[in-house]
Structure 1
Amino acid sequence: MGVLSRRARGGRRGGTADLALRPAAAGVPALPAGPRRPARGGGDPGRGARADGGGAGPGRAAGGRQRGAAVVVAGGGGGDAAARLRGREALPVGRVGRCFPGAAAGALVLRTQAGDREDYIRHPPRGERLSAEALVELDVLRGEYAGAYELQLVVSDGLSPMAMMDDGHLLPYLAAVRAGLGAAGWRVAPRLLVLRAGRVRAGYQVGAALFGDADDRKGRRVIVHAIGERPGTSHHNFSVYVTAAAPLVWATPGAVDHPLTRVLSGISDTACTPERAAAQTVKVLSQLAPR
């Protein structure tokens, strides 16, 4: 798996920074904590918890980051974070319009098998699998697409819904990444998919449902999945997982997993800016699936 790392110069948003794609290595330490701003909205009861629920996957360094820095490392910790995260709010259907103004009119909201927030935290595999209703809706959507698109944008509330709802976070990213992907020649599906209680592997199921075709070995079909990171800093960061595979691979059970995915992490208006992350998404995809 590759890793997008950012070495910030000057430490503040808008400063010059070097970004490079480098191989992942287990045990790479988090960047040292930099100055923190006060938590938004009066603070977050879940912040500081290490909350991957023991699930494996492309992990991120927990704890503070330098402002303007982004790093992804392999692996991830465990621990029972449910008590600290029990009160964290999932992305409510009724707030989709406020989370994604201008982009939510045609959004399709789907659920995973996680029953509620505590179930999502305590049983990570349930957040990795789509509900039966979601699979039916995706089958209908696949028929509507009729093979016209090769890239789907997906958003999950993840472990930090605030990262997706803060002003200046998701909307600038979606606008910039759509423009950049279109300029690069990718046929991006116009409909945004929103996963409630979603984890990374739920995005793989979306790709299989929309793009899987056992008779098609040509080209690449892509899922770009933005998801709220585990709590731990005041930045309300989110990450983007980019996965590209041939339709035959998407159709093969278990073939699409973390080794095919690249991660951009530490994205917020006070860290790696959404606009810069969008440009890097296009760059990473050009390496995964050269045109």
Structure 2
Amino acid sequence: MNEDRELDREENRKPGRKQEPGSESQAHQPNVNGSQALKHLQSTTPARIGVGRKGGTRPPTKAMLAFLADHAEARDAVQSNLSAEFVERFCRQYDCTLVDSSAGSRQDFVLFPPRGKRLSDAALSGLKAKLKAADVQIVISDGLSALAVEENLPDLYPMLLDGFEGLHISLSSPVMVQWGRVAVADQIAHAAPAKVAINLIGERPGLSCAKGLSAYITFNPNPATTISSDRTVISNIHDGGTPAIEAGAFIVKVVQRILKEGVSGVRLQALG
């Protein structure tokens, strides 16, 4: 039986011989560009689908180079810090205070996640003198992509200010956290105190996007009691997802409802 199969393969390899369905050559050289349905699917997502193969199981050169470039951008996003120019400009324009989390460096932040969830005692003490009681406390954290913050915040933040002002929702002074994670906003907003914490944070980069921002919104934030399911999340904020301006308007509506209902996270979702 094995000899018969090998003879069939040899016959299929002869010049001019039409390949039978499921033959070895067909399996390694799919016609990924011949389907209109596939082309439509490729146009609707940045995911790598139907890239084809060359020389057996290898991806085409163009697809491989694109993969390597996206992988490098994702690695750069994780390792990058907020630029001094961006921080200085934003903090001056919006009276924002820059603080560090208890992580001592970017490497420390990546290797020991809990250190990014809290400020040092000295940083928190200094903030308490500046923050004021308000409906909303906005925190900006570099998270795992400082690039996402620098890319999206200039369009997003003014939308939040205009929206909250129009609804007479009060804001405390914004705080920017270097090496910050989601939960650090609970500690800051609780110190203000504020009814709602918003953490605008750079998300973990992937191979299709390294500049995605998310907004984690929490009612009655408390570092001792708040858990992940208490947060309402608006994610995928970037040019290829939800544009920053549109996301800003939506965040305002969500916060308005959270203040009205007095809950966030899964309890807000349960209300329909």
Give TM-score, length-normalised by structure 1. 0.61
Distance (whole Å) between structure 1 residues aligned to residue 189 and residue 247 of structure 2: 22
Query: Is 2:231 the partner of 1:261?
Result: yes
Bigger CA radius of gyration: 2
* Residue of 131, 136, 139 corresponding to 2:125: 136
Distance (whole Å) between structure 2 residues aligned to residue 230 and residue 187 of structure 1: 30
* Matched positions, count: 201
Matching residue's letter, 2:202: G
> Cα–Cα, structure 1 residues 195 and 44, in superposed 2: closer, same or farther, change >3 Å?
farther
Query: Which position in structure 1 is the counterpart of 2:11?
Result: none
> Cα–Cα, structure 1 residues 265 and 87, in superposed 2: closer, same or farther, change >3 Å?
closer
> Cα–Cα, structure 1 residues 87 and 231, in superposed 2: closer, same or farther, change >3 Å?
closer
Deviation at 1:205, TM superposition (A): 0.8
* Residue of 242, 248, 258 corresponding to 1:272: 242
Query: Which position in structure 1 is the counterpart of 2:195?
Result: 221
Local SS of the residue matching 1:234: coil
Q: Deviations over 1:168-206 (max 9, x none)?
A: x111110001111221220122x3210000000111111
Distance (whole Å) between structure 2 residues aligned to residue 101 and residue 135 of structure 1: 18
Query: Is 2:77 the partner of 1:103?
Result: no
Query: Which position in structure 1 is the counterpart of 2:81?
Result: 90
Q: Any unmatched runs of 5+ in structure 2? A: 1-39, 50-64, 262-272
The 5 A counterparts of 1:123-272 are: 123-142=112-131, 145=132, 147=133, 149-166=134-151, 169-189=152-172, 191-211=173-193, 221-232=195-206, 233-234=208-209, 236-245=211-220, 250=222, 254-272=224-242
Give TM-score, length-normalised by structure 2. 0.65
Local SS of the residue matching 1:194: strand
Query: Which position in structure 1 is the counterpart of 2:72?
Result: 45
Contact 2:136 2:169 in 1 (8 A): yes
Deviation at 1:94, TM superposition (A): 5.2
Q: Note the aligned Cα RMSD (angstroms).
A: 3.0
> Cα–Cα, structure 1 residues 86 and 107, in superposed 2: closer, same or farther, change >3 Å?
closer
Distance (whole Å) between structure 2 residues aligned to residue 288 and residue 136 of structure 1: 28
> Cα–Cα, structure 1 residues 210 and 44, in superposed 2: closer, same or farther, change >3 Å?
farther
Distance (whole Å) between structure 2 residues aligned to residue 172 and residue 123 of structure 1: 31
Matching residue's letter, 2:139: V
Distance (whole Å) between structure 2 residues aligned to residue 171 and residue 86 of structure 1: 18
> Cα–Cα, structure 1 residues 171 and 85, in superposed 2: closer, same or farther, change >3 Å?
closer
